[in-house]
């Protein structure tokens, strides 16, 4: 196997195959297919068959190099690449100006759906005229290559700046550091905080997105790498390749991807043919604000599917819990922009832009004013908690290695395993900690189908002191099957026992046996005498 990334390897193999056919050779498919992992072979074989049938024109392997020409553009150097396209700095020979030439990968050009997405980006941007949306100059095809000629933005992307900030200690993650890494010192006026600078920059992004939304376009892939910074520090929104008109059928995972997982909205993360509207861009910009201020993304995972699941079910750690320097207003803006329910987000990017401008100026935000008191926010959290939808919250703060709160509620999907919650206050299918509630609860105070602890309530309850459950064992126990010093239950075993079937020194029930008994068909003691003895013993 080659050491090249898979995308690059596929491009090279397709180009080499085309070159050999043009040279009169007939390379064997198995030999080529054996150079890629098994999961990539069906797609590669389909491409080779299309080339054999003359259904596709593939560029030669040596075409993309410094000095090569695509139409009126002369390639200077490669400046970026991704799974979809390569980006070259090029010179427009007619207008003598630099352009960013985005070139669809040769292997992808064989499938019409990828070419359609490429054209869609050109059409989407062509509708827009905004100072903070990248301009498109030209679109064309040359020698089998599909390309877009766009405005060349000299500065770095926001992703590059945030990646450089990430390893810095909190006290060094300043507005000055941000501006220096962006190559634009004017971004950080004297006395400005990182929050002021990031919010001011993202306010311009929100205004650009609002302009797209007013034209009926949803970007659907808002993320730091698609926010480019000019030399003066002003942002430009790029890569409208996933943009769709509102109301168009959504693209699913069986077609184009829906966006970068870390920044996807919950409605995108469900990976179904669900329609998304402009509020998905609001959510993604909220994630970008969270990362800009905290130095971390709100949702992570070992795999893409783990990230999807986190977005769908978990509440992100509060902004101020991971970044104490963030203001309460910033935390409120993040909460509103990232609300799981689109109805609870900002109604549009213009509203988000207004609050971001307030943050940039250090003024109160509408998000915080509308959010209300801490009690009201807690009520909103409880509504989400008991909505029946999948929900998970894990507090950032810990004690002795356990989060203070870990809550998992809501329906499980078919086949999903029991979900474990671990925390000083924990609730889940299985719960461990101090005060716990779950199908299986283990803790000092436990509620659950099976509960183990000092004080317990559950279907099966084992307690040192107090147990209440379908099956309860403890010093004082209540349950369908109960065993303890003082036991109440359908079946009760204990020193004091009250139930349908009971055995004890003091026994009262439908079928009771003991020293002092009150039961159907037999009454050795009156009720008064029975309890007089009980109280006498307890006293």
Write the CATH number for 279: 1.10.510.10
Q: Is the dihedral of CA 201, 202, 207, 211 positive or negative?
A: positive
pLDDT over threshold 80, residue 375 = no
Structure tokens at 363: 């003024």
User: Is 261 in the same domain as 362?
Assistant: yes
User: Is 128 in the same domain as 171?
Assistant: no
378 in a structural domain:
no
How far from each other are the two terminal CA atoms of the chain, in whole angstroms?
Answer: 83
Of the pLDDT bands very low, low, confident and very high (cuts 50, 70, 90), residue 509 is low
pLDDT over threshold 50, residue 37 = yes
Residue carrying the six token digits 């993604």 = 284
pLDDT over threshold 60, residue 530 = no
What is the number of alpha carbons within 13 Å of residue 278 lying toward its C-beta?
19
DSSP 31-90: HHHTTS-GGGHHHHHHHHHHHHTT------TT-SSTT-EETTEEEEEEEEE-SSEEEEEE
User: Is 198 in the same domain as 138?
Assistant: no
What's the confidence (pLDDT) of residue 384? 63
What's the confidence (pLDDT) of residue 59? 54
CATH assignment at residue 126? 3.30.200.20
pLDDT over threshold 70, residue 162 = yes
What value does the mean pLDDT take over residues 197-224? 94
Over its C-alpha atoms, the chain yields an Rg (Å, rounded) of 32
CA separation, residue 366 to residues 329, 356, 358, 359 (Å): 9, 10, 9, 10
What's the confidence (pLDDT) of residue 488? 59
pLDDT over threshold 50, residue 251 = no
Of the pLDDT bands very low, low, confident and very high (cuts 50, 70, 90), residue 195 is very high
Q: Which residues contact residue 216 at a Cβ distance below 8 angstroms, ignoring those fewer than 6 apart? A: 245, 246, 247
Could you give the angle at the alpha carbon of 214 between the alpha carbons of 212 and 219, nearest 5°? 30
User: Is 145 in the same domain as 203?
Assistant: no
Decide: helix, strand or coil at residue 132: coil
Decide: helix, strand or coil at residue 442: strand
pLDDT over threshold 80, residue 29 = yes
What's the confidence (pLDDT) of residue 123? 77
Of the pLDDT bands very low, low, confident and very high (cuts 50, 70, 90), residue 13 is confident
pLDDT tens-place string over residues 217-241: 898 889 999 999 999 999 999 887 6
What value does the mean pLDDT take over residues 379-397? 66
User: Is 348 in the same domain as 207?
Assistant: yes
- Which sequence positions are flagged as catalytic? 221
Q: What region, left, alpha or beta, does residue 150 occupy, with left being phi > 0 and alpha being psi -120 to 50 degrees?
A: beta
297 in a structural domain:
yes
What's the confidence (pLDDT) of residue 300? 86
Decide: helix, strand or coil at residue 113: helix
CA separation, residue 138 to residues 113, 126, 150, 468 (Å): 20, 10, 7, 74
Q: Which residues contact residue 469 at a Cβ distance below 8 angstroms, ignoring those fewer than 6 apart? A: 451, 456, 457, 458, 459, 460, 461, 477, 478, 479, 480
User: Is 436 in the same domain as 510?
Assistant: yes
Of the pLDDT bands very low, low, confident and very high (cuts 50, 70, 90), residue 252 is very low
What's the confidence (pLDDT) of residue 378? 61
Rank 311-315, 347-351, 445-449, 520-524 by mean pLDDT and report only the highest.
347-351
The beta-carbon contacts of 22-30 under 8 Å, at least 24 apart in sequence, are: 22/60
User: Is 185 in the same domain as 135?
Assistant: no
pLDDT tens-place string over residues 97-110: 999 998 887 666 66
Domain end: 342, 372, 402, which one? 372
What value does the mean pLDDT take over residues 477-499? 61
pLDDT over threshold 60, residue 244 = no
What's the confidence (pLDDT) of residue 486? 59
Mean pLDDT is lowest, of 158-162, 221-225, 424-428, 510-514, for 510-514
Decide: helix, strand or coil at residue 329: helix
User: Is 41 in the same domain as 88?
Assistant: no
Give the range of the structural domain holding residue 345, as residue numbers without chain letter: 158-372
Domain end: 92, 119, 150, which one? 150
Domain end: 132, 150, 168, which one? 150
Structure tokens at 288: 């970008």
pLDDT over threshold 70, residue 249 = no
382 in a structural domain:
no
User: Is 282 in the same domain as 305?
Assistant: yes
Q: pTM (2 decimals)?
A: 0.68
Task: Count up the domains in the chain and report the number.
Answer: 4
State the chain's mean pLDDT as an integer.
Answer: 77
What's the confidence (pLDDT) of residue 28? 82
User: Is 221 in the same domain as 183?
Assistant: yes
61 in a structural domain:
no
330 in a structural domain:
yes
User: Is 291 in the same domain as 178?
Assistant: yes
Of the pLDDT bands very low, low, confident and very high (cuts 50, 70, 90), residue 253 is very low
User: Is 139 in the same domain as 15?
Assistant: no
Mean pLDDT is lowest, of 128-137, 219-228, 350-359, 510-519, for 510-519
pLDDT over threshold 80, residue 11 = no
* Phi and psi, residue 127, nearest 5°: -75, -15
Cβ–Cβ < 8 Å for 474, 466:
yes
């Amino acid at each position: 196997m080659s050491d090249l990334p898979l995308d690059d390897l596929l491009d090279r193999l397709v180009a080499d195959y085309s070159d050999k056919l043009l040279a009169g050779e007939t390379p064997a498919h198995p030999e080529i297919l054996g150079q890629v992992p098994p999961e990539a072979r069906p797609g590669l074989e389909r491409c080779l068959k299309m080339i054999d049938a003359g259904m596709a024109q593939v560029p030669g392997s040596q075409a993309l190099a410094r000095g090569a020409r695509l139409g009126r553009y002369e390639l200077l150097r490669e400046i970026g690449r991704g799974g979809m396209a390569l980006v070259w700095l090029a010179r427009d020979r007619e207008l003598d100006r630099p352009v960013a030439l985005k070139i669809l990968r040769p292997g992808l050009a064989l499938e019409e759906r990828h070419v359609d997405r490429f054209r869609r980006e050109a059409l989407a941007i062509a509708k827009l005229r905004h100072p903070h949306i990248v301009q498109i100059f030209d679109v064309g095809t040359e020698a089998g290559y599909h390309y877009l000629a766009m405005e060349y933005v000299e500065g770095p992307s926001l992703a590059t700046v945030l990646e450089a900030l990430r390893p810095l200690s909190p006290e060094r993650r300043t507005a000055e550091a941000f501006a220096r890494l962006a190559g634009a010192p004017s971004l950080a006026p004297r006395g400005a905080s990182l929050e002021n600078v990031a919010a001011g920059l993202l306010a311009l992004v929100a205004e650009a997105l609002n302009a797209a939304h007013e034209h009926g376009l949803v970007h659907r892939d808002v993320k730091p790498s698609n926010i480019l910074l000019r030399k003066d520090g002003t942002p430009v929104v790029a890569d409208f390749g996933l943009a769709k008109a509102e109301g168009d059928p959504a693209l699913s995972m069986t077609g184009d991807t829906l966006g970068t997982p870390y920044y996807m909205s919950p409605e995108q993360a469900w990976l179904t043919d669900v329609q998304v509207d402009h509020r998905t861009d609001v959510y993604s910009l909220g994630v970008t604000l969270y990362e800009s201020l905290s130095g971390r993304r709100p949702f992570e995972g070992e795999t893409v599917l783990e990230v999807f699941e986190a977005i769908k079910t978990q509440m992100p750690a509060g902004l101020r819990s991971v970044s104490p320097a963030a203001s309460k207003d910033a935390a409120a803006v993040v909460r509103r922009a990232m609300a799981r329910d689109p109805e609870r987000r900002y109604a549009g990017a213009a509203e988000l832009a207004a609050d971001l401008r307030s943050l940039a100026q250090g003024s109160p935000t509408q998000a915080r004013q509308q959010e209300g008191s801490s009690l009201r926010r807690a009520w909103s959290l409880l509504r989400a908690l008991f909505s029946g939808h999948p929900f998970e919250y894990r507090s950032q703060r810990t004690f002795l290695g356990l989060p203070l709160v870990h809550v998992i509620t809501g329906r499980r999907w078919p086949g999903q395993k029991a979900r474990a919650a671990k925390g000083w206050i924990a609730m889940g299918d299985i719960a461990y900690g101090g005060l716990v509630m779950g199908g299986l609860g283990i803790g000092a105070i436990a509620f659950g189908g099976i509960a183990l602890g000092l004080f317990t309530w559950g279907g099966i309850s084992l307690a040192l002191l107090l147990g209440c459950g379908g099956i309860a064992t403890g010093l004082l126990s209540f349950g369908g099957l109960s065993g303890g010093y003082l036991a109440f239950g359908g079946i009760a075993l204990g020193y004091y026992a009250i139930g349908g079937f009971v055995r004890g020194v003091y026994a009262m029930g439908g079928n009771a046996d003991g020293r002092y008994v009150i039961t159907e068909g037999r009454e050795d003691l009156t009720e008064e005498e029975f309890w007089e003895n009980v109280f006498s013993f307890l006293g």
